[in-house]
Structure 1
Amino acid sequence: MVRVGEMRERVTILTLTEKADRSGWEWTPTKTTWAKSEKTGRLSLFSTVGAGQEGYTFTLRRHPLTPAQALRWRGRFAFVTDLSYPDRGHIEVGCAMIEPMVCTVTRTDIKKNELNRPTLTEAVKLSFPACIVEKYAGFTAGDIHDTTTQTLVAVCPKAVKLAPGEIVAVGGILDDDGEPCRYRVQVPHELSEWKNEYELTREADA
């Protein structure tokens, strides 16, 4: 049983929303409430193929929360991994503490005329939040020079769908010119009801 006095922390519930100009998605605050926070002391394996992150459990008054949402606590982003109900009045929210990065993907939008013939091609840039974790780093020795292949995993909200071969710019990782690093989508993992995961790769000189 959770006592009212134990819920001393303020947490904000976040919901993914599409931007008004349809240029992508973002996390939007929808409600702030009291909660009890507890560090689990173990890694939260919120990704099926990526590295785990610091785990926390938040206890709130019962609320229609789903794993498609997230929490903000003390300025930190909490990715919801599981929900449980210890009693009739409360909900326990398992979370992985990881800050999402703003990513962008550019797609070709082909316009058609009244005869259904393509008349115009436009580049459409979409932005979305993704939690980026490492999978592994490989090393390949070549005849002329050596390259490293970095593989990351982008854990995205379910609304975000990427196709193999698409190029994703990861805003929180910069190259030598100060520009977001560009990764190619390799392997999708889309079986989860609440999230999509994508393996991204980038090669660079060692």
Structure 2
Amino acid sequence: MSSDYCSAGKLDKNADILECKRDDCGNWAWEPVRSIWTSVEIQSRTNIFSKIGIGARDALIVTWRQEISLSNALRLNGQFLFLTSITERGRNQIELKAAVCDPVTLTAKPQDRTGRDYMNRPTVIKQASFTFPGILTELYRRNEPDEIYRNTTLQRALVTPKPILLRPGDLVQAGEEAPYTVRQVHDLDPWKNEYVIERQEDI
């Protein structure tokens, strides 16, 4: 545990409340909206922040009662905390549970959509690429040999803020890495979306 964290008692750690916002170019990012005083304890248990991926370290945060929801996140000393529960406690305080995560900036490359023009003829609607913050976590890996190469299907769980809407077949890419293809969409949670993404790798 880092010495920057203390047990959940005295509210002496300054953290930023983050909100996922879209800019004029259509790109999404976590932006600070205000600062709060907290106490934070990194616990030994695992926070199951994803229904389809593995968990992360659990953080217990205490702060004063205020307007905050699970659509927000926290940043403390450069560390990103993905909120998973909010409960009331005594003395005008609230208790937050969060997963200690390392979000990455990804580029979404949506598939073209089909539509109709003013004469009701089929037409293709181009979709613009955009960047967004996401959390990649392990799903599972399986090997599929073929006649010439042995291909590895690398699958990941992708957890995003609720506004990030992807469809099966869309591509997502982290930096200069090979892109992943969205295979499954899990969007029933009111605060986040989850996706199964995969790519083939030759070894």
The bucket for the TM-score relative to the shorter chain is 0.7 to 0.9
Shift of 1:109: 7.0
Distance 1:164 1:120, change over 3 A: closer
SS in 2 for 1:180: coil
Shift of 1:50: 0.3
- Kindly provide the amino acid, as one letter, of the partner of residue 196 in structure 1: N
**What is the aligned partner in structure 2 of residue 94 from structure 1?**
97
Shift of 1:20: 2.2
Number of matched pairs: 195
**What is the aligned partner in structure 2 of residue 41 from structure 1?**
44
**What is the aligned partner in structure 1 of residue 142 from structure 2?**
138
Residue 39 of structure 2 is aligned to residue 50 of structure 1: no
Shift of 1:163: 0.5
Inter-partner Cα distance in structure 2 for 1:121 and 1:68? 30
**What is the aligned partner in structure 2 of residue 185 from structure 1?**
182
Shift of 1:192: 0.5
Residue 81 of structure 2 is aligned to residue 78 of structure 1: yes
Q: RMSD between aligned alpha carbons?
A: 2.2
Shift of 1:121: 5.5
Distance 1:69 1:114, change over 3 A: same
Shift of 1:205: 0.8
The one of 187, 190, 196 aligned to 2:193: 196
Shift of 1:100: 1.1
Inter-partner Cα distance in structure 2 for 1:104 and 1:49? 21
Inter-partner Cα distance in structure 2 for 1:97 and 1:138? 27
- Kindly provide the amino acid, as one letter, of the partner of residue 191 in structure 2: W
Question: Unmatched 5+ residue regions in structure 1?
Answer: 172-178
Identity of aligned residues (%): 30
Inter-partner Cα distance in structure 2 for 1:109 and 1:8? 50
TM-score between the two structures when normalised by the length of structure 1: 0.86
TM-score between the two structures when normalised by the length of structure 2: 0.88
For the 8 Å contact 2:164–2:193, the answer to whether it is kept is yes
For the 8 Å contact 1:12–1:31, the answer to whether it is kept is yes
Distance 1:170 1:143, change over 3 A: same
The one of 147, 151, 155 aligned to 1:147: 151
The one of 62, 67, 71 aligned to 1:64: 67
**What is the aligned partner in structure 1 of residue 3 from structure 2?**
none
Shift of 1:84: 0.9
Residue 18 of structure 2 is aligned to residue 14 of structure 1: yes
Inter-partner Cα distance in structure 1 for 2:127 and 2:71? 29
1:177-198 superposed Cα distances (whole Å, 9 cap, x missing partner): xx23200000111110100000
- Between Structure 1 and Structure 2, the one with more strand by share is 1
Inter-partner Cα distance in structure 2 for 1:122 and 1:16? 25
Inter-partner Cα distance in structure 1 for 2:95 and 2:127? 43
**What is the aligned partner in structure 1 of residue 164 from structure 2?**
160
1:165-184 superposed Cα distances (whole Å, 9 cap, x missing partner): 1111123xxxxxxx232000
Shift of 1:114: 6.3
**What is the aligned partner in structure 2 of residue 128 from structure 1?**
132
For the 8 Å contact 1:109–1:124, the answer to whether it is kept is no
Inter-partner Cα distance in structure 2 for 1:80 and 1:70? 6
Inter-partner Cα distance in structure 1 for 2:191 and 2:100? 17
After the TM superposition, which of the residue ranges 121-130 and 50-59 deviates more from structure 2?
Answer: 121-130
